[in-house]
Amino acid sequence: MYSLNRWWDRYGLRLGLTALAVFVAWAIRHTSGAPVLEVYQVLAGPFVGTPNREQVLNIAQDEAVQQHITELESQNQMLRELISYQSDQSPEGKMAPVIGRSADQWWQQIIIQRGSNQGIQVNNLVASTGGLIGRVSHVTPNTSRVLLISDPASQIGAMVNRSRTMGYLRGQSESRAVLVFFDRFPDVRPGDVVSTSPLSQIMPAGFPIGRVESINNNTSPSPEAIIELSAPVSSLEWVVVYPNSKGQNAEILQESASPSEEDSTDTPSETLSSPSNSTNQN
């Protein structure tokens, strides 16, 4: 008993401090340090003080200014990329902000803040950084509606650049589209670049659309490929509108047709011819 008391007198304090340290560490771990933070706030409160209403407003204004600067820097970078893309394509393009896009027609159409007063016409090409996004389908004095290539109702002539294999592209209501080939055994590979077809009566040839993601040779009546669109159709804020002589010629032909031959849509339908067959497109 004497030996136990002597051992306790010698090591008891050390053992108690060790147990306390383990308990504190366990408590901090399981409470994420909340008790320590509360103790710190209580002790530091008299020295820090409570910010007044003016200080709170100044802090809020500073945060708002920083957020605005960040947004302006993002828009500036986007416009730089768009201007660079425009200069690579054609100096005749007109930049236009996107001002309308409904949730239920997100992949079908957009409204841009340019119209007939700014020289915009039906069937003008509309592009963004990366490639084609659609064509103008309706014009008012100061706004225009753009039919997106991601709309299932949009069908345009397309071509695989490497092999010159042709077909028509239809939208899928997403950032990918389907390219339906005219040939039964098309020469196409994943990664091939796809652009507008020279046989198109509405679109000028060679305008970039996207890249082949996959091919399905078992579809009927002809093979199909999934095309990943190169332009950011899902997140458009600014676009470039280009004049389109082919589209204007097609509109003149449409207006000269008899009422029974006219299409019921805002834009003329397109006919693409291949050596074996032809396909009608919107």
Q: What is the pLDDT of residues 119-140, one digit of tens each?
A: 999 999 999 888 899 999 999 9
**pLDDT of 164-222, one tens digit each?**
999 999 999 999 999 999 998 999 999 999 999 988 888 888 889 999 999 999 988 88
Amino acid 80: pLDDT: 63
Query: Is 169 strand, coil or helix?
Result: strand
pLDDT, the chain, mean:
77
Which one-letter DSSP state was computed for residue 53?
Answer: H
pLDDT above 70 covers a percentage of the chain that reads 62
Q: Which of 26-30, 180-184, 268-272 has the lowest mean pLDDT?
A: 268-272
From residue 68, give the alpha-carbon distance in Å to each of 71, 152, 207. 5, 37, 35
Query: Is 154 strand, coil or helix?
Result: coil
Beta strand 193-196 pairing with 155-160: antiparallel
Q: Where exactly are the structural domains of the chain?
A: 2-41, 66-256
Give 22's pLDDT tier (boundaries 50, 70, 90).
confident
C-alpha to C-alpha distance for 67 and 69, rounded to whole angstroms = 5
Query: With 80 as the cut, is the pLDDT of residue 258 above it?
Result: no
- Select from 3.40.50.720, 3.40.190.10, 2.40.10.340, 2.40.33.10 the CATH code of 66-256: 2.40.10.340
Q: Are 279 and 127 in contact (CB under 8 A)?
A: no
C-alpha to C-alpha distance for 196 and 190, rounded to whole angstroms = 18
Closest CA to 137 of 270, 268, 271, 275: 268
Q: Are 156 and 147 in contact (CB under 8 A)?
A: no
**pLDDT of 60-90, one tens digit each?**
677 766 666 666 666 666 556 656 555 555 5
C-alpha to C-alpha distance for 130 and 239, rounded to whole angstroms = 11
Q: Are 282 and 269 in contact (CB under 8 A)?
A: yes
Amino acid 262: pLDDT: 40
User: Mean pLDDT: which of 144-148, 196-200, 243-247 is highest?
Assistant: 144-148
C-alpha to C-alpha distance for 218 and 216, rounded to whole angstroms = 6
Q: Are 175 and 231 in contact (CB under 8 A)?
A: no
